[in-house]
Chain A
């Protein structure tokens, strides 16, 4: 296990903690984009460039845009409300860093001995061949999911507009 992977994974955990513990929602969305970018970098390191490109463009780009536009549509809290809200929130989240550190130490001290089950024979070595030759039904499924999502969003906004 290379040192770069360990550093990237540590930054990933710090990014996830920043996402969860930060005060403003906007910063949480930006931190989530940062976490996604680190996941994409790890995918590049693990020889999965196409999945990494998808992760980088869709999760870091599109989902961040979705979150930031949603946050811009909601009311910001007043300063007093924000302070009060933060105190209550911090009480609920105070155990998270403790749990993360304890879990990290506990799991790294654990010596796990396991063997993975026998592997299925390798059929194709190229992702494009797997997508188009072996799993064409999956692409059809993706198109159906995308269409249903698009129609779902259209219906939701239509109903909201009517009322």
Chain B
């Protein structure tokens, strides 16, 4: 593999790592459920971009595009169900704050 391709891989890698850190920080530091989902979404963006970059560098764009399409489908379903759960929680607790969810009994 050429040095130029590896350089592209590392240059994108730096930004992908930063994007993943932003998503992870948002996920860890927030108490709002919708903001947590937004953080998760940013993390997923970082993962998607990294898959595409690897496909570009290795020259296997067909396979990576197929993977990313599947990934996006799963992402949408996860988001739709998570938003349904969040709305259910808000309905029972009147709040989106994770600290106020006290009625989950297991």
Interface set of A (CB-CB < 8 Å, partner B):
1, 5-6, 9-10, 12-13, 16-17, 19-20, 25, 28-29, 32, 35-36, 39, 42-43, 46-48, 50-51, 54-55, 58-59, 62-63, 66-67, 70-71, 73-74, 89, 92-93, 95-96, 99-100, 103-104, 107-108, 112, 114-116, 119-120, 122-127, 129-131, 134-135, 138, 141-142, 145-146, 148-150, 152-153, 156-157, 159-160, 163
For residue B32, give the distance in angstroms from its CB to the closest CB of chain A.
7
Interface on chain A toward B: helix, strand, loop, or mixed SS? helix
Instruction: Known A48-B56, A74-B96; judge A54-B66 contact (CB<8 A).
Output: no
Given A48-B64, A152-B80; 8 other pairs, CB 8 A cutoff: A20-B22, A20-B38, A28-B35, A50-B69, A116-B57, A145-B74, A146-B73, A160-B91
* Chain B positions within 8 Å of A130 at CB level: 62-63, 65-66
Give the residues from 61 to 86 in chain B that come closer than 8 angstroms, CB to CB, to chain A. Answer: 61-66, 68-70, 72-81, 83-86
Contact B69 A74 (CB under 8 A): no
* Chain B positions within 8 Å of A114 at CB level: 6
Closest to A106 in B: B14
Give complex CA distance A29, B59 in Å: 34
* Chain B positions within 8 Å of A5 at CB level: 11-12
Instruction: Bin chain B's interface residue count.
Output: 35 or more
Query: Within 8 Å of chain A (Cβ to Cβ): is B29?
Result: yes
